[in-house]
Amino acid sequence: MKVVLDTNIVVSAALTPEGNSAKIIDLLTSHQDIQLSYSTEILTEYEDVLSRPRLNIKTEMRIRVINLLKNIGILIEPMPSNILFSDENDRIFYDTARAAEAILVTGNQKHYPIEPFIMSPANFLKMTEKAL
């Protein structure tokens, strides 16, 4: 199973270690059957958002999260789609998930087209509980 994580999942995992997003990161590190996919643009977005002062995420935590995701993930360079997005920053997550044939996990499903491969963290966790 392949997965792409929207930035809100990574931020939520860093801020709330006991939440669903952190559980997803734990699954990625503990199950070789689940493979993270990311693009260069996604990593840049993760770094930019995790660095925002208002989030108050310590540098050590930010570096640890980014390095973890790089180490467990596979770099994908997708072709841009022509689907309309209200926020163009969401396109790279959608395109990467499509290119990797992965599930896109996001806390903002309303930002994306209705597609079966786009899931909330709770739904992703339910699905993986059944599959693992």
Render pLDDT for 12-52 as a digit per residue (tens, 0 to 9): 999 998 999 999 999 999 988 999 999 999 999 999 999 99
Residue type, 58: K
Supply the angle between the helices 40-50 and 59-72 in degrees, to the nearest 10: 160
**pTM score, whole prediction:** 0.94
Overall average pLDDT of the 54-74 stretch: 94
Helix (H) or strand (E) holding 63: helix 59-72
Average pLDDT over all residues of the chain: 94
Confidence tier at 131 by pLDDT (50, 70, 90)? confident
CATH superfamily of 2-131: 5'-nuclease (3.40.50.1010)
Reply yes or no on whether the pLDDT at 129 is more than 90.
no
Report the percent of the chain where pLDDT is more than 70: 99
**What are the boundaries of each domain within the chain?**
2-131
Structure tokens, 87: 């926020």
